[in-house]
């Protein structure tokens, strides 16, 4: 059975998609950009954007009783691979043990001019 996940603790979808979908023990979260859900605006700078994206991911997971330790795969999209070291350091702080599998790719553009987007798959 497919369950649509929606929480006010993460940005509303800006297109025809759901924040996340739960199918059995798997949760598939749509890519998150650094929109602060309290104000509906994109935060500035790669450091702040990376942190906001991770907080948005945490909040989507929490809506289903999950946390970062339940993530099995992430995909990171960057508009500038020169930001990789900064993103890697901040991202790594969220996964102290047993980090998930991960891909990281550079893309030409992201929605709303974001510098980073992260999508996750979690299992519980």
pLDDT in tens, the chain (124 residues): 999 999 999 999 989 999 999 999 999 999 999 999 999 999 999 999 999 999 999 999 999 999 999 999 999 999 999 999 999 999 999 998 999 999 999 999 999 999 999 999 999 9
Q: Is 91 a catalytic residue?
A: no
> In terms of residue numbers, what domain contains 115?
2-123
- Name the β-bridge partners of 104: 76
Number of independent structural domains in the chain: 1
Q: From the candidates 104, 106, 110, 124, which is the catalytic residue?
A: 104
Q: What is the pLDDT of residue 14?
A: 86
What CATH number is associated with residue 87?
3.30.1330.40
What's the angle, vertex CA 47, arms to CA 76 and CA 42, rounded to 5?
80
Buried b (16+ CB within 10 A) or exposed e, 44-58: eebeebbbbbbbbbb
- Return the pLDDT at 54: 98
Model pTM? 0.96
């Amino acid at each position: 059975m497919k369950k649509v996940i929606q929480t006010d603790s993460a940005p509303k979808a800006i297109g025809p998609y759901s924040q996340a979908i739960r199918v059995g023990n798997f949760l598939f979260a749509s890519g998150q950009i650094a929109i602060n859900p309290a104000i509906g605006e994109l935060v500035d700078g790669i450091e702040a954007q990376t942190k906001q994206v991770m907080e948005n991911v945490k909040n989507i997971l929490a809506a289903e009783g999950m946390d970062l330790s339940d993530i099995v795969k992430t995909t990171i999209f960057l508009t500038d691979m020169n930001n990789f070291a900064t993103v890697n350091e901040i991202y790594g702080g969220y996964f102290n043990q047993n980090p998930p599998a991960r891909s990281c790719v550079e893309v030409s553009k992201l929605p709303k001019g974001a510098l980073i987007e992260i999508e996750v798959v979690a299992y519980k």
